[in-house]
Amino acid sequence: MDRVIIFDTTLRDGEQAAGGTLNIQEKLEIARQLEKLGVDVIEAGFPASSPGDFEAVNLISQEIKNSAICALTHANFKAVDRAWEAVKVAARPRIHIFLSASDIHIIHQLKKSRDEILKMACDNVARAKGYTSDIEFSPMDASRTEPAYLYQILEAVIDAGATTVNIPDTVGYAVPHEFGGLIEGIRANVPNIDKAVISIHCHNDLGLAVANSLEAIQRGARQAECTINGIGERAGNASLEEIVMAIRTRKDFFDLTTGIDTTQIYRTSRMVSDLTGFAVQANKAIVGANAFSHESGIHQDGVIKMPITYEIIDPRTVGVPSSSLVLGKLSGRHAFKQRLSELGYSLNDEDLNRAFAAFKELADKKKHITDRDIESLVAEEQRTLSEEYHLERIQVTCGDRGIPTAAVRLTDPKGTVLEDAALGTGPVDAVYQAINRLVKVPNSLTEFTVKSVTQGIDAIGEVLIRIESDGVSYTGRGADTDIIVSSAKAYINALNRLLAAGEIKTA
Ligand code: KIV
Ligand code: ZN
C-alpha cells in the first residue's frame, strides 16, 4: 500500500482538550469541512460518553457520505451497542474499541489480569463485528505495553474481526526510533497482521507526536490518527497538516500519498481554531501566521529571486490566502461572490446578502480589504446565524476621567428588544455588566485576548474570550473594527453557546 489513510480525531480526541467543547452544529460544520479536506475517516465522537456526543455522531453519520464515520467505545457490550446505534446510518460506519493493555494501566487502573483483558478485547470486537465489518481496536498505552503481550492481543483481535489495529502512544512517551521499532516488531511477530491495517495514534507530551507518526509510517503503519492544529488531550495529538505536508513535501523520501486536498488545510485550520477557541501559535508549522513570512533580508532577497531558495512549500498549496488588497469600496456583489468562491466559500443567497452587506459596511470604515478581512467577516456572519441573543448596538463612554459607562441594546430569542446600561472598571467591563443585566446567566470570565487580523490602524480586531459556568468552559469570538464592539460580540457569542449547551436556564 502506498497510500496512508488519514483518520481525523479532531471531533473526539481534539475535543477532549481542556476548554475545547464544541456544540453539535459546530461539530457538524467541522465534519463537513473535514469531508471537503478529504480525510478518509472522521472519528465523530464517543456516543456512550454523553447524549450530546451520541447526537453529534448520529447527525454527522446521516450527512457525511465520502468519509467513513467512526464511533469510539470502551470495551463493554452496552457501549458498543450505543456506538453502533449512533453510527449505523453512516454510508461507511466504523466502530473503534479501546481497552488498556499496559501493565501500568491494567494493574493500577483496571485491576484485571492480562487474560481478562484479552478476553474482553476479543468479546467486544466480536460483538461489534456482528454489526459492521469495519472494526478498529486500540490497545491503549500500547507504547508502554510489553511487546510480547501486545502481539498476542493484536493477533487475537484480528482473529475476532478487527480490520484496523491502532497503536496508541497514549501518554506521549515514545521516541521515534523506538516507536518505529515497535511497528516493525508488530509486522514481524503478529502472524495474521496482513489481515489488518496498522494505525498509529501519537500524543505530543514530549513534542514528538508528528516525528513518532512519521517514523511509524516509514516502517509500515498505513493509517495516521491526527487532529487539525494538533489539538487534543493534554499537549495534543499529532497534527494532521504536518503529517500530510511532510508526506507530500518529502515524497522523494516516503514515496507515499494521502487523499487530502491540501488546498483546504488552511481553511480547516482556521475553522477549528475559530470554533474551539484555540488560537494557532504564530510559528506553528504549515498553518501559523508566520509559517510563510520571511523576515531576514537575505531570505527575502532569495524568495524574491526564486521562492524555492527559502520556501519548501508554496503557501497556495495549503490554501493560505494572500494578504494583498483584493477588494475595495467600489467592488460589487459579483466581485465579492467571486472572491468568496476563490477562497472556498459557497454561501446561499441569504448568507451571501448578509455577508455582502457586512462587507459594504466594512469597506466604509476600512480602505483596503484583504482576503483575511473577508475570512474574518464571513466567520463573524456565520457565528451570528444561530444566535439566541443578538447584539443590536452599544454605546460606551470611557477615558481617564469619569466612570466607564455602557448602554447596550439586544434582541432576545423571541425578538424582543432589551436595553440597559451599567458602569464598570473599564469600557469592556461596563459592556459586560450591561449585558449581564439583560442575559442573566451566572458565569465568570477566565480569558480575554484581542488581536488584529491584518496590520494598520483600521484593522479588524478579533476578540477571543472564555467564560466558565458550573465548571464548564465556553469560548466566544467577535470581530469588528472597534474592539469594544468585538468584545461585546464575543461575550454574546460565548453566552449563546453556554445557553445552547443547556447547562443553565436564564433567570
Ligand atoms: O490516546 C489514546 O490512547 C486514545 C485511544 C482512545 C485511542 O485516544
Ligand atoms: Zn488519544
Amino acid at 150: L
Q: What is the mean pLDDT of residues 252-269?
A: 96
Over range 325-343, report the average pLDDT: 82
Ligand closest in space to the Cα of 97: 1
Question: Mean of the per-residue pLDDT values for the chain?
Answer: 92
CB of residue 201 inside a 6 A radius of ligand 1: yes
Ligand in nearest proximity to the CA of 96: 1
Residue 12 pLDDT greater than 60, yes or no: yes
98 ligand 1 Cβ < 6 A: yes
* Ligand closest to CA 49: 1
| % of residues, the chain, pLDDT over 70 | 97
Which helix or strand (DSSP H or E) is residue 137 part of?
A: strand 135-140
Question: How far is the centre of ligand 1, averaged over its atoms, from the C-alpha of 237 (Å)?
Answer: 10
Is residue 140 in contact with ligand 1, taking CB distance under 6 Å?
A: yes
> Does residue 29 have a pLDDT over 50?
yes
Minimum CA distance residue for ligand 1 atom 3 = 170
Query: Is the Cβ–Cβ distance between 237 and 226 less than 8 Å?
Result: yes
pLDDT of residue 235: 94
Distance 167 CA to ligand 2 centre (A): 10
More confident residue, 192 or 451: 192
**138 touches ligand 1 (CB under 6 Å):** yes
Ligand 1 atom closest to residue 13's alpha carbon, by position in its atom list:
8
Q: Is the pLDDT of residue 310 over 90?
A: no
Measured in angstroms, how far is the CA atom of residue 308 from the centroid of ligand 2? 36
Distance CA 121, CA 138 (A): 9
Q: Find cell 489495529 and name the residue.
A: 165
* Confidence at residue 130, expressed as pLDDT on a 0 to 100 scale: 98
- Residue range 107-135, pLDDT digits in tens: 999 999 999 999 999 999 999 999 999 99
> Residue 183: pLDDT band by 50, 70, 90 thresholds?
very high
Q: Whose CA is nearest to atom 4 of ligand 1?
A: 170
Q: How far is the CA of 215 from the centre of ligand 1 (A)?
A: 19
Nearest CA to ligand 1 atom 1: 170
Mean pLDDT computed over 27-56: 96
pLDDT value at position 377? Answer: 87
Nearest to 74 by CA among 108, 118, 124, 119: 124
Give the number of whichever ligand sits closest to the CA of residue 72.
1
By most ligand atoms within 8 Å of CB, the mutation choice from 171, 203, 223 for ligand 1 is 203
Task: Write out pLDDT tens, residues 365-383.
Answer: 887 788 888 888 888 887 7
Does the structure show a pLDDT above 90 at 287?
Answer: yes
Tell me the pLDDT tens digit for each residue of 196-238: 999 999 999 999 999 999 999 999 999 999 999 999 999 999 9
CA 134 – CA 95 distance, rounded (Å): 7
Q: Which has more confidence, 428 or 376?
A: 428
- Determine if ligand 1 sits within 6 Å of the CB of residue 13: yes
pLDDT for position 507? 34
- pLDDT bucket at 506, cuts 50 / 70 / 90: very low
Q: Cα angle at 141 between 137 and 142, to 5 degrees? A: 65
Q: For 128-165, what is each residue's pLDDT tens digit?
A: 999 999 999 999 999 999 999 999 999 999 999 999 99
Q: How far is the CA of 167 from the centre of ligand 1 (A)?
A: 9
Residue 308 half-sphere exposure toward CB, CA atoms < 13 A: 1
The confidence score (pLDDT) of residue 205 equals 98
pTM summary value: 0.85
Neighbours of 189 (CB within 10 A): 15
Q: Which atom of ligand 1 is nearest to the CA of 12?
A: 8
* Burial group, residue 337, by CB count within 10 angstroms (0-12, 13-18, 19+): middle
List the residue whose alpha carbon is closest to atom 2 of ligand 1: 170
Gap between the Cα atoms of 125 and 157, Å rounded: 7
Our answer on whether the CB atom of 170 is closer than 6 Å to any ligand 1 atom is yes
Closest ligand to Cα 98: 1
Q: Is the CB of 45 under 6 A from ligand 1?
A: no
Which ligand 1 atom lies nearest to the CA of residue 225?
Answer: 7
Note the pLDDT of residue 459. Answer: 85
What is residue 503's predicted lDDT score, i.e. its pLDDT?
44
Rounded Cα distance between 122 and 168, Å, is 18
Lowest mean per-residue pLDDT among 166-175, 236-245, 342-351:
342-351
Point out the ligand 1 atom lying closest to the alpha carbon of residue 140: 3
Q: Are 41 and 8 in contact (CB under 8 A)?
A: yes
Assign 324 a pLDDT band (cuts: 50, 70, 90).
Answer: low
Q: Which of 170, 205, 225 for a ligand 1 pocket mutation test, highest count of atoms within 8 Å of Cβ?
A: 170
Cα gap 39→412, rounded to integer Å: 39
For residue 505, what pLDDT is reported?
A: 38
Residue 323's pLDDT is 54
Which atom of ligand 1 approaches the CA of 171 most closely? 1
